[in-house]
Amino acid sequence: MGRPVPTASAEPLDPYIPGHGNRGYTVERYELDLEYKVPSNRLSGTAVVHAVATQSAPTVTLDLGPALSPSKVGVSGSRRAKFTHRGGKLVVTPQTPLTAGTSFTVTVTYAGNPTPIAGRWGEVGWEELTDGVIVASQPNGASSWFPCDDHPSSKAAYRISITADSPYHVISNGTLLHTRVKSSRTTWTYHQPEPMATYLATVQIGLYEKRRLCNTPVPVDAIAPPRLRTLIDHDFGRQQQMMSAFVERFGPYPYPSYGVVITDDDLEIPVEAQTLSVFGANHCDGRRGYERLVAHELAHQWFGNSLTLGRWQDIWLHEGFACYAEWLWSEASGSSSAHQLATRTRARLAALPQDLVLGDPGPADMFDDRVYKRGALTLHALRRTVGDEPFFTLLREWTAAHRHSVVATADFVELAERHGVDPGFFGPWLEETALPRLP
- Domain boundary residue among 171, 199, 227? 199
The CATH number given to whatever domain includes residue 347 is 1.10.390.10
The tally of CA atoms less than 13 A away on the side-chain side of residue 193 is 7
The CATH number given to whatever domain includes residue 295 is 3.30.2010.30
- Residue environment code for 249-283, b if the CB has 16+ CB neighbours within 10 A, otherwise e: bbbebbbebbbbbbbbbebeebbbbbbbbbbbbeb
Query: Do residue 189 and residue 318 come from a single domain?
Result: no
Residue 384 lies in a domain: yes
Residue 287 structural domain: 209-301
Please state the separation of Cα 85 from the chain's center in Å: 26
Phi, psi at 173, each rounded to 5°: -75, 150
Residue 129 lies in a domain: no
Query: Do residue 154 and residue 87 come from a single domain?
Result: yes
Listed in sequence order, the residues at least 6 apart from 215 whose beta carbon sits closer than 8 Å to its beta carbon are none
Determine if residue 84 is left, alpha or beta; phi over 0 gives left, psi from -120 to 50 gives alpha, anything else beta. Answer: beta
Query: Do residue 287 and residue 329 come from a single domain?
Result: no
Query: Do residue 345 and residue 213 come from a single domain?
Result: no
Per-residue pLDDT of the chain (439 residues; tens, 9 = 90+): 444 433 335 688 999 999 999 999 999 999 999 999 999 999 999 999 999 999 999 999 999 999 999 999 999 988 899 999 999 999 999 999 999 999 999 999 999 999 999 999 999 999 999 999 999 999 999 999 999 999 999 999 999 999 999 999 999 999 999 999 999 999 999 999 999 999 999 999 999 999 999 999 999 999 999 999 999 999 999 999 999 999 999 999 999 999 999 999 999 999 999 999 999 999 999 999 999 999 999 999 999 999 999 999 999 999 999 999 999 999 999 999 999 999 999 999 999 999 999 999 999 999 999 999 999 999 999 999 999 999 999 999 999 999 999 999 999 999 999 999 999 999 999 999 999 999 9
Query: Do residue 163 and residue 50 come from a single domain?
Result: yes
Contact 349, 373 (CB under 8 A): yes
| Cβ atoms < 10 Å from Cβ of 115 | 18
Query: Do residue 271 and residue 326 come from a single domain?
Result: no
Q: Residue 40: what residue type? A: S
Phi, psi at 78, each rounded to 5°: -75, 125
Residue 410 lies in a domain: yes
How buried is residue 227: exposed, middle or buried, by Cβ count under 10 Å (0-12/13-18/19+)? exposed
Residue 10: what pLDDT? 61
d(CA 356, CA 177): 45
Query: 68 has which bridge partners?
Result: 112
- Domain boundary residue among 250, 276, 301? 301
Residue 16: what pLDDT? 97
Residue 432: what pLDDT? 98
Number of domains within the chain: 3
Query: Do residue 151 and residue 30 come from a single domain?
Result: yes
The CATH number given to whatever domain includes residue 58 is 2.60.40.1730
Residue 439 lies in a domain: no
Query: Do residue 87 and residue 34 come from a single domain?
Result: yes
Residue 8 lies in a domain: no
Query: Do residue 287 and residue 421 come from a single domain?
Result: no
Residue 177 lies in a domain: yes
Selection from 318, 373, 375, 333 nearest residue 246 by Cα: 333
Residue 78: what pLDDT? 85
Query: Do residue 340 and residue 213 come from a single domain?
Result: no
Query: Do residue 76 and residue 182 come from a single domain?
Result: yes
Query: Do residue 219 and residue 323 come from a single domain?
Result: no
Between helices 316-332 and 239-250, what is the axis angle to 10°?
120
- Domain boundary residue among 283, 301, 319? 301
Residue 6: what pLDDT? 38
Residue 3 lies in a domain: no
Alpha helices in 311-408 (DSSP H): 316-332, 338-350, 369-386, 388-401
d(CA 236, CA 231): 8
